Amino acid sequence: MPSFQDHLDAIKAEIEEISPEEVQQKIENGDDFHLVDIRERDEWENGFVPGANLLGRGHLEARIGNIAFNADDEVVLYCAGGVRSALAAASLELMGYVNVKSMEGGFSKWAQSALPVATRRSLTTDQMARYSRHLLMPEVGEEGQLKLLDAKVLLIGAGGLGSPTAMYLAAAGVGTIGIVDGDTVDMSNLQRQLLHREDSVGKPKVDSAEATLKGINSDITIHKYNYRIDSDNVMALFAQYDIVVDGCDNFPTRYLVNDACYMLNKPNVHGSIFRFEGQVTVFKPNEGPCYRCLYPEPPPPGMAPSCAEAGVLGVLPGIVGVAQAIETIKLILNIGQPLVGRLLTFDALAMNFRPLNIRRDHDCPLCGTHPTVTELIDYEHFCSLAAW
């Protein structure tokens, strides 16, 4: 009866092996190939080859297509000692991959050869369970989830838009969420601001928001700013965060957020709502237009009434706020096509989403060719001028 060694020898006679030194040379040369670590999770903790895709033998055949899209893509597999990777290489060849190699001696020989070794943070057991649906997605995975946990996002407003945005970012595991809001909870807020409850009426919104978000995910950090941002405090505050999500309801703050984000090179995920309509876009400095490109001047008073003046459908902020949360997560993970240079509009009565292209204005006073706004201004005064 043939032994396992006989079987392994036969497999190795059919596949191509490559030395650790040759793999390192390919990495240094910038060769186009996919390096795949097929060891198990506990083995990765002791180190891995820098740049390797950590896939695991048990998921290799099912998930290799997420890494190597074409049958002729070059794939180099490695395990601990070269046995599992040899068998796996044969399996991939049976699937139709024609350029698969196994690293001779595996990670053990790589480490013994004093070649570079990377180490990684890992999710805890509880985090693995909580974020398990993210981990199944190749666009997120454990590396992406760690990016989310490391991210710092500042929300401007804990109201209609801030509520769904904050709740979904918290649930997704965004590790640090800052909330700026100087208001207290009013009974009229409860129709649409899901961060707050009846027993929160009269309390600062940031305190109510913190209680709700901690109830969703105690694993994250919440920073509260129970005040309104202005030209004196905004720069120091925004500098502490990676992304700013604008859910405010007044023009002076929108222009302030826009200008501060541009000057600090921070993405601004902007949303606004009115009665049955909403819109979302991403203002990313040096990659697309800014808020001033879209709205060079604020409208005259009365032309764009607030929700308190014109009303708003209670469920509308849920649609727009969730879209802002999606855009924020896409920016953190660097996936998909963020709404940079595109304005997504939503009409609830027609149940219609419509994307509009918006372009950078070369004459924009902030991000144009010859900017005239080079420092923060008096935004209340700027917006009041629209009355004249």
Q: List where CATH 3.40.250.10 sits in the chain.
A: 4-112
Residue 113 tokens read as 């050869």
> pLDDT tier at 387 (50, 70, 90 boundaries)?
very low
Q: Considering the chain, what is the average pLDDT of its residues?
A: 93
Q: List where CATH 3.40.50.720 sits in the chain.
A: 151-387
- Phi/psi at 169 (nearest 5 deg)? -65, -40
Distance of CA 110 to the CA centre of its chain: 34
Tens digits of residue pLDDT in 67-122: 888 999 999 999 999 999 999 999 999 999 999 999 999 999 999 999 999 987 88
β strands within 186-225, DSSP E: 221-225
CA pseudo-torsion sign 223, 227, 228, 234 = negative
Helix or strand (DSSP H, E) at 353:
strand 352-357
Eight-class DSSP state of 275: B
Among 20-34, 52-66, 223-237, which stretch is predicted with the lowest mean pLDDT? 52-66
For residue 243, what are the β-bridge partners? Answer: 153
Scan for tokens 């670590």, then name that residue. 37
Residue 26 tokens read as 């390919």
* Of residues 278, 244, 279, 241, the one with CA closest to residue 258: 244
Helix or strand (DSSP H, E) at 34:
strand 34-37
* Of residues 304, 265, 276, 291, the one with CA closest to residue 343: 291
Tens digits of residue pLDDT in 288-315: 999 999 999 887 665 666 666 678 999 9
Tens digits of residue pLDDT in 193-218: 999 999 999 999 999 999 999 999 99
- pLDDT attached to residue 299: 76
Residue 156, helix vs strand vs coil: strand
Q: Where are the alpha helices (DSSP H) in 16-82?
A: 20-29, 41-44, 60-63
Tens digits of residue pLDDT in 316-368: 999 999 999 999 999 999 999 999 999 999 999 999 999 999 999 999 999 99
Q: What percentage of the chain has pLDDT greater than the value 90?
A: 81
CATH tag for 4-112 (out of 3.90.105.10, 3.40.250.10, 3.40.1190.20, 1.20.1530.20): 3.40.250.10
- pLDDT attached to residue 384: 72
Question: Across residues 142-171, what is the average pLDDT?
Answer: 96
Domain 151-387, second-level architecture: 3-Layer(aba) Sandwich (3.40)
The CA-based angle 288-289-293, given to 5 degrees, is: 170
- Phi/psi at 290 (nearest 5 deg)? -115, 180
- Burial of 265: CB neighbours in 10 Å, binned 0-12, 13-18, 19+: exposed
User: DSSP characters for 86-139?
Assistant: HHHHHHHHHHT-SSEEEETTHHHHHHHTT---B------HHHHHHTHHHHT-TT
Residue 53 tokens read as 């895709």
